[in-house]
Structure 1
Amino acid sequence: MSGSTLAEWLRALDDRALVALLRARPDLATPPPADTTVLATRIGSRASVSRACEDLDTLTLTVLEALLVLDADLAPVGRDALAALFPVDITGALETLRGRVLLWGDDHLSTPPATRDAVNPFPCGLGRSVPRLAGVDLADLAGLGDDELRVLETLAAGPPVGQTRDAAHVVALDDATSPIQKLLARGLLVRRDAMTVELPREVGLAVRGDRPLGAVPTAEPPLPTRALDPVAVDSTGGGAALELCRHVDALLTAWSEEPPTVLRSGGVGVRDLRKLAKDLKADETRAALLVELVVNAGLVADSEGAEPEWVPTTQADAWSTASPEQRWATLALAWVDLPRLPGLIGRRDERDRLLNPLAPELNRPGAPRDRRRVLDALALPAPGTAVPDVDAFAALLAWRAPRRGGRLRDELVRWTLEEGTAVGVIALDALTSQGRTLLVEGTAPAAKRLADVLPAPVDHVLVQADLTVVAPGRLDPDLADEIALVADVESAGGATVYRVTEDSVRRAFDAGRTAADLHELFTSRSRTPVPQSLTYLVDDAARKHGRLRGGAAGSFLRCDDPVLVAEVLAHHAADALGLRRIAPSVLVSPLPLGDVLDGLRAAGFAPAAEGPDGRVLDLRTPGRRIASRGRRRPVPPATPSDEQLGELVRLLRAGDRAATTSGGARIAVPGHLGAGPSATLDLLQRAARDGLDVLVDFVDGHGTAARRVITPRYVGGGVLEGVDVSYGEVRRFPLHRITSAALVQDS
């Protein structure tokens, strides 16, 4: 199966091979090519060749470059001549290239002319050919000095170009003083411009000797791995997932109360990031990743007001009430699909500007694809297989697809592993089971898998004598809410440690809890005896709390103890709060009640707010919310089925037949072309009369251009009625929607 041109070779392929080609290079099918000649033109375009090379491994790419060394883009080269350049069998690489039509032919191989520009202008590190040097060999280099030989060896190793001031002027050999000038005078180097010299291909091959392509990487680099217990990997990832949810919940709470402003250039400022990291008790790298996740998940958005802020959305409330495994799945998918590079945060751009979280400069549409490529590679070994050597892993991925990732290729691998560990998709350098499920099946099955991994919630705590409360596992939701209200997290992990303080107890009182409620909580839920120090702390805080009662006047304060009222009035804070006595036990202020209570607390008092019925009110603000804008997930391109590609191939064949049918030239319909409509009508009527197939281009009712092979049965009344050859169905086409027609067989 060979042909003098690419189009001829394509026509000789069977339909299955063409379907495989269109699947491997989907850009060739959009829009559908009219015939094989059009397909051949697209195959040879520089952009299409470049895209087709992106997933080639290093050996296959080297084979393609070797074809360019042999000038296969100019004339066919023998397969044996190519194979002689490699120390291993390259049959598999040739089949891969042939399947993508980056080469064609059997014994004599050709590659598209645009390949040199699309792949490498210096294939295999060799310069351009200088035909007059075709006979050069090592014997011609024997009289060179050591300095000259070192220059040739350096350039022969690649790249074959170098920058030097010695190229400014070409001098005779007798006048040459430097190795570069001597080599230029001998014709062994070529001057490209005043600062650039290039080693001709022929000289480079002579210097390389019996290794014309240099060091050919023939196999994947080794990847050290370590076998771990999959259960340990999954449980460690589960702990990271819970920690992720806890930090995101704290972030939403903090930004509900005090949203950070949106920088003029976009993003979150350094001060706000540092404050968030301090509030979360995390490092700034983790805080920055969390910021990126909550925005991509739709939990936080730009308020887009006159003074825009980053504010939690109404979707954050739904997320907060979901189960831990569902919360994690939402965040994990937001990370996998994140079209940005959080790893760049903290670096500087080309203008020396600091890159902040949510800055537009972090946008990378290809980031989800590159991230999944790393995760898919981690998923190949058996569950529990760890990859501890990041550099070796990056080298392996670089061998498999050296043209992927650009200049950040290796760093993308490191960032993915670090971020995946923080998110809980990766643990102990291995992909977790819930991470595998997320990649293949989606969020719901991944959440279920995580739920199986997580230990059952516990319904008790351990109260310690030092006023700490230890949660020996994941607390059930109701208990977790109560403990979080009365204590602050001191450390998190497999067992979370809370600390009870006077402020935390007062927070519980402000929320409406009583001392009896707290005593009951600790007595009933603690598996250890409640220490007296905790009982005293609660009772002491209760005695102070609520002795002063505030209401709206602006606001008022009341107290049954006139001595305490007098103490408040005598304090210097009373003037700042505008307090005045209106009764022996009542003070009023023009300020809002919240401001008065905060001022008194700062002065060392412990007031509480009360409602009309005298009960304690919780004045904590629920936090700001803005309308959810939905999650901006990238929409992957639709993957055509084999049936759809098969139909496209059938239309391609029909286009070829139309081009070779006598009298089958395409006739366009638009009326401004003169006889177009009448000529088309004549062609369709002739086809209906003689039972001929017609290739019809038309626009459907949605305005979409399409193409079908039709056997006309009736033409008239402004309608073409015929059998769709591909589906065997009778269809009707308004003639005014047909844009062109051509016979696909002779009568």
Structure 2
Amino acid sequence: MVSFIDVVRGMDHDALARLFHARPDVASPSPGTLTSLAARVTSPGSIRLCLSTLSRPYLDVLEAVAILQSLHVSTDDDTIAHALDSHDVIGPRGPLTLRTLLDTLDALALTYPHNARGERRLAPGVADALGPFPAGFGPAAPEGYSGPTTKNDLISALSPAVQDDALTVITTLTWGPPIARVPRDLMTRTTLTPTHAALRELVACGALLTPEPGTVVLVRDLAFALRDHRTHRGLTPWPAHASSSLTPHPHTPAVTAPHTALTCATHALDTIRHLEHLLTELAHRPAATVRSGALAARELKRLSEALAQPPVTIARLLEVGYAARLLRRDDNEPHDIRPTLAAKSWLGHDTPTRFAELVTWWLASSRTTWTMIDDDGKVTSVVDPTRHDPWVSTTKQHLLTVMDAAGNGATRGLVDACLTWCTPRHTAPSDIITGILDEARFLGVVTDHVLLPGLAEHGPAQALTDALPQPVTQCIIQGDLTVLVPGLPDPSLDDLLTACADIDSRANATTGRFTSESIARAFDRGWSSESLLAQLTQVSVTGIPQPLDYLVRDVARRHGSIRVGGLASYVRLADDALVAAVRASPALRTAGLFELAPRVLGSALPVAHLVGSLRDAGFSVVVEDHAGAIVVADDVPVRGFIPVRAVARRGEAPEGLHGVGSEPVAAVAWAPVTEITDGQVEQHTQLARAVRAAEDASLSHGYGDSPRPEDQEGPGVSSESSSDPVDGNTGGGRSPHAHGRDGTKHLHEGAAVVGDHVLRLRDAIDSGMNVDIDLVDSHGQITTRTVRPLTLDSGRLRVLDPARDVELIIAVHRIVHVQETS
């Protein structure tokens, strides 16, 4: 037979590298030896974390092996296949064979080959992590059990009067859940219903166990026989495959890929356009924050009015900008929310690239933005720094990949079922999925629970490019001063209409209206009446209607009758000679100085920039406030764009998702062991070699075999002890094997010994057998006890001492040797 530690020690570098990649928690910090690695792999926390990433078929296989192993039935491949009643199952990417499932579980170190007959066993600790009722089975029969183990035995043990009712109860419990609530006085009450009478006989004959008063549970051995020696009714298939065979409701509208693509593209364009306007608004007038860092309520109202959008939309835009590093809170006073330098670059990109960057950073973001909107639709604490959780990013990617695999026509119920199939032991609550879907719909990533076509295959930039219809370069201007673009406007046409018309709607067609205010807005941007009419004439298929011509010329006649100039700073000088020197300085030609009054010059440069220019030109400068008091020039605030804080990979887009506009969104691995990149191969291989070398060194010194303490030389080793070494809170005793004979510590060797003890204890817990353990007390003396390990967690071992029939708690660091009872 092969033990689990032997399997771990026999792994080659490739197998260890794949294990480190699939279960990164066991690779950090680096394990000292393979023995300590095996102990880490079988720790309850690591096993629970690994099980939380497994899809339903993998858990089905583990439960089947656990049941067969507990009943001492063969666990070869054929027996496992019979227990599962299946050799393969339909997954989201095609069929998954039982061989693939078993090989993957071996690679994850959750199962391992046990002997030459091809039988498998669960790694220590896995059976306990699966829970008390794996596959709907109750506990195994206790020692000395003499109750029925087959259906014939059960019928023989029951009286004819209750057989029908008893079989009905047993049938209900056979496929789980195996536990039921019954009256606490079931065995003593005088008046019984037929069902209660059947339950009493089932308990009396041993078919049902009573773990506590008022509870009965079906014994595992009998349930296995009643299931015809099966643990499952087949492996659980991918829910979308099962639903695809159903006939859709005749009144359910068909969701086509072109419709989905167009709807997603419309949402994406709206978000990008509104975010551009928000960045422009915040560049001119940053938004104030409260002490907690969240946006002030009055600022949310101001931005909502400025952009003519509801507060919910403004809040989502701010969160999207934060996630994409386009906005952040200034580190300097007054801590306003401002655009970053990355926003400048983003504004210069084309629409697909902008969309790709937003999707990239949204997927990487861990912010729980849906929590800022309450049940009544009221927005509170926008961009609150505390609204984040580390698991949000993984949930987003998982959700989008599941939706891609579910295909068109997916419903919310189907999406939830697919998510549960992928990670049954770690499924996000419904409100979280709803919040993420709302965010994805706002970005244009999904619509009607269907993913943007091409997003997973080609990436967001190409997907949006394919979704956008052919741009329209001309419009229809009508006599009632309305304008219509029958389709998606070309960027130049869109800029023109945005500048001179009020846009009413943007969907399959763009509609707008020319007003005096919209025409004046175009003149404010530098247009003249002639240039504006010429541009509109080029793009209009109906020419320029007379009402529009009159409107443009009338607004142009009145526009600019009152003019206002800006003054960013001024210079006050002591005498006329200094004025002449400043105006004649070649270094100040770009400062744009002009005379406001005698010995007073004005400039369009900000104060800080003008002070720097004057000092560079060799003049002594001080800064004064509006009252003439001198202030420190370095304290003058500089408005505008601010630097971006470094995040993942020092400011680069997070890898593992997709590159901007090129690489596809990374799919969630349907098999837990995914492909390893070249860089990961090198990193994990180096770690595997280091652990292997440490293990070889440990074995060469004889520590890997964990010799018994009485075979060691040195003082303080005795087979008897006058004190009880069970209490782990006293000081002193450490395992003598953690030190060499010269008193020097050998950390790797000590870890190997402790790891070997832990593995043997977990084997004993799974098998329910007794072991002999040697314990060191606070005086360094050793005593041997025969115990039955029950649980092992957090450095504490709970055991049953059969000799005294008491339970004890033992500190693991006091155990120096473990071996099976002979």
TM-score, structure 1 as length reference: 0.65
Q: Deviations over 1:401-456 (max 9, x none)?
A: 32343334x963x6666544543444683543355333xxxxxxx54675576567
Taking only aligned residues, the RMSD between alpha carbons, in angstroms, comes to: 4.8
Query: Using the alignment, how far apart are the partners of 1:121 and 1:417 within structure 2?
Result: 35
Quick one: structure 1 residues 265 and 403, their matched pair in 2 at CA, closer, same or farther if it must change by over 3 Å? farther
**Structure 2 counterpart of 1:251, which letter?**
L
Which of these residues, 645, 664, 671, is aligned with residue 630 of structure 1? 645
Partner residue in 2 for 1:297: 324
Equivalent positions of 1:192-591 (< 5 A) are 197-202=215-220, 205=223, 209-210=227-228, 213=231, 215-221=233-239, 222=241, 223-224=243-244, 237-256=264-283, 262=289, 267=294, 287-303=314-330, 309-347=336-374, 357-359=382-384, 362-377=387-402, 386-408=408-430, 412=433, 419-426=439-446, 429-433=450-454, 436-438=457-459, 447=461, 450=464, 454=468, 459-472=473-486, 475=489, 477=491, 479-548=493-562
The answer as to whether partners of 2:138 and 2:217 remain within 8 angstroms in 1 is: yes
Partner residue in 1 for 2:105: 97
**Cα offset for 1:500?**
1.5
**Cα offset for 1:6?**
0.7
Quick one: structure 1 residues 665 and 394, their matched pair in 2 at CA, closer, same or farther if it must change by over 3 Å? closer
Partner residue in 1 for 2:64: 66
Quick one: structure 1 residues 88 and 273, their matched pair in 2 at CA, closer, same or farther if it must change by over 3 Å? farther
1:125 aligns with 2:136: yes
**Structure 2 counterpart of 1:628, which letter?**
P
SS at match of 1:39: helix
**Cα offset for 1:44?**
1.1
Partner residue in 1 for 2:693: 654
**Cα offset for 1:495?**
3.1
Q: Deviations over 1:482-520 (max 9, x none)?
A: 432322211112432222122222333444544444333
**Cα offset for 1:364?**
2.9
Quick one: structure 1 residues 437 and 277, their matched pair in 2 at CA, closer, same or farther if it must change by over 3 Å? farther
Query: Using the alignment, how far apart are the partners of 1:340 and 1:148 within structure 2?
Result: 54
Query: Using the alignment, how far apart are the partners of 1:235 and 1:210 within structure 2?
Result: 53
**Cα offset for 1:246?**
1.0
Higher mean alpha-carbon deviation, 357-366 vs 543-552, is at 543-552
Quick one: structure 1 residues 549 and 342, their matched pair in 2 at CA, closer, same or farther if it must change by over 3 Å? closer
Query: Using the alignment, how far apart are the partners of 1:376 and 1:93 within structure 2?
Result: 21
**Cα offset for 1:319?**
2.3
Where relative contact order (Cα < 8 A, 6+ residues apart) is larger, the structure is 2
The answer as to whether partners of 2:473 and 2:490 remain within 8 angstroms in 1 is: yes
**Structure 2 counterpart of 1:103, which letter?**
T
SS at match of 1:498: strand
Quick one: structure 1 residues 358 and 68, their matched pair in 2 at CA, closer, same or farther if it must change by over 3 Å? farther
Instruction: Show structure 2 runs of 5+ residues with no match.
Output: 88-97, 249-253, 568-637, 657-675, 706-738, 752-822
The answer as to whether partners of 1:298 and 1:628 remain within 8 angstroms in 2 is: no
The answer as to whether partners of 1:658 and 1:665 remain within 8 angstroms in 2 is: no
Partner residue in 2 for 1:669: none
Q: How many positions carry a matched residue from both structures? A: 588
The answer as to whether partners of 2:312 and 2:379 remain within 8 angstroms in 1 is: no
SS at match of 1:85: helix
Quick one: structure 1 residues 162 and 529, their matched pair in 2 at CA, closer, same or farther if it must change by over 3 Å? same
Partner residue in 2 for 1:135: 148
TM-score, structure 2 as length reference: 0.60
Q: Deviations over 1:617-659 (max 9, x none)?
A: xxxxxx9745233364486799653344444444444334323
Quick one: structure 1 residues 62 and 141, their matched pair in 2 at CA, closer, same or farther if it must change by over 3 Å? farther
**Cα offset for 1:41?**
1.1
**Cα offset for 1:344?**
4.8
Query: Using the alignment, how far apart are the partners of 1:115 and 1:664 within structure 2?
Result: 27
**Cα offset for 1:43?**
1.9
The answer as to whether partners of 2:83 and 2:232 remain within 8 angstroms in 1 is: no
The answer as to whether partners of 1:299 and 1:315 remain within 8 angstroms in 2 is: yes
Quick one: structure 1 residues 370 and 514, their matched pair in 2 at CA, closer, same or farther if it must change by over 3 Å? same
**Cα offset for 1:154?**
5.4
**Cα offset for 1:391?**
2.8
**Cα offset for 1:270?**
7.8
The answer as to whether partners of 2:489 and 2:510 remain within 8 angstroms in 1 is: no
Partner residue in 1 for 2:681: 642
Query: Using the alignment, how far apart are the partners of 2:703 and 2:328 within structure 1?
Result: 59
Partner residue in 2 for 1:24: 22
1:110 aligns with 2:107: no
Quick one: structure 1 residues 38 and 479, their matched pair in 2 at CA, closer, same or farther if it must change by over 3 Å? same
Quick one: structure 1 residues 448 and 401, their matched pair in 2 at CA, closer, same or farther if it must change by over 3 Å? closer
Quick one: structure 1 residues 99 and 512, their matched pair in 2 at CA, closer, same or farther if it must change by over 3 Å? closer
Partner residue in 1 for 2:786: none
Query: Using the alignment, how far apart are the partners of 1:512 and 1:431 within structure 2?
Result: 39
SS at match of 1:110: strand
The answer as to whether partners of 1:262 and 1:268 remain within 8 angstroms in 2 is: yes
The answer as to whether partners of 1:57 and 1:399 remain within 8 angstroms in 2 is: yes
The answer as to whether partners of 1:297 and 1:631 remain within 8 angstroms in 2 is: no
Quick one: structure 1 residues 129 and 276, their matched pair in 2 at CA, closer, same or farther if it must change by over 3 Å? farther
SS at match of 1:641: helix
Query: Using the alignment, how far apart are the partners of 1:9 and 1:43 within structure 2?
Result: 12
The answer as to whether partners of 2:263 and 2:447 remain within 8 angstroms in 1 is: yes
**Structure 2 counterpart of 1:486, which letter?**
C
Query: Using the alignment, how far apart are the partners of 2:128 and 2:702 within structure 1?
Result: 40
Query: Using the alignment, how far apart are the partners of 1:69 and 1:649 within structure 2?
Result: 33
**Structure 1 counterpart of 2:326, which letter?**
L
The answer as to whether partners of 2:472 and 2:490 remain within 8 angstroms in 1 is: yes
Query: Using the alignment, how far apart are the partners of 1:181 and 1:357 within structure 2?
Result: 62
